[in-house]
């Protein structure tokens, strides 16, 4: 299948040394970008008048643990970009592979990607959410701290190897039944 998204030839021409992978699913195009080039690609997509992706609508992550088909890495960070002037959407994805056991609570030196907050300031809180829920750190982020869980929460709850019943947080609260409420 030939992808016909108008941004793909612009990216290919601007970064001839980068081997991009692209896919389309239900009319949405995703470009896989090497993690060491993500900031450079994002800046180009914002600044190039042929692209004009002026809005970062979302930054999220995916945990591919036990996914049925093989992926280039266990985790993926996904940026959803909008160009209102061109009426286009594009997803960027970069893969990260952990180097330590992700069931633990220590930070993994491989789960790091550059921040894009200097490209799109709106990415600040979105990156904080990815950090909080998945433990992926954003190098150069101006205020990378938890946003949903408390400061000393032991882990990252959207990782697929996080225990379903938690690590003791359910036992710290009084159980309320219908009769005692």
The domain spans of the chain are 7-139
Q: Would you say 156 and 104 are in contact if contact means Cβ atoms under 8 Å apart?
A: no
Low-confidence winner among 84-88, 106-110, 164-168 (lowest mean pLDDT): 164-168
Mean pLDDT estimate for the chain: 91
pLDDT of residue 14 exceeding 60, the answer is: yes
Q: What is the tens place of the pLDDT at every residue in 119-177?
A: 999 999 999 999 999 999 999 999 999 999 988 888 899 999 877 665 555 566 677 78
- Decide which of 3.40.50.720, 3.40.50.300, 3.30.460.80, 3.90.1150.10 is the CATH code for 7-139: 3.30.460.80
Q: How many Å apart are CA 52 and CA 136, to the nearest integer?
A: 27
pLDDT at 172: 64
Q: Would you say 96 and 73 are in contact if contact means Cβ atoms under 8 Å apart?
A: yes
pLDDT of residue 100 exceeding 70, the answer is: yes
């Amino acid at each position: 299948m030939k992808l016909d998204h108008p941004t793909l030839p612009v990216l290919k021409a601007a970064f001839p040394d980068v081997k991009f992978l692209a896919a389309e699913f239900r009319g949405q195009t995703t470009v896989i970008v090497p993690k060491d080039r993500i900031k450079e690609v994002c800046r180009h997509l914002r600044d190039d008048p042929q692209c004009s992706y002026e809005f970062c609508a979302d930054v999220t992550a995916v945990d591919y643990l036990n996914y049925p088909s093989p992926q280039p890495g266990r985790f993926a960070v996904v940026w959803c970009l909008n160009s209102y002037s061109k009426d286009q959407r594009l997803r960027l994805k970069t893969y990260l592979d952990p180097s330590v056991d992700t069931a633990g609570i220590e930070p993994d030196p491989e789960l790091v990607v550059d921040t894009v907050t200097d490209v799109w300031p709106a990415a600040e809180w979105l990156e904080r959410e990815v950090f909080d829920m998945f433990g992926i750190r954003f190098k150069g982020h101006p205020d990378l701290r938890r946003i949903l869980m408390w400061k000393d929460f032991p882990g990252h709850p959207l990782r697929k190897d996080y225990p379903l019943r938690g690590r003791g947080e359910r036992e710290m609260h009084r159980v309320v039944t219908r009769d005692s409420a």
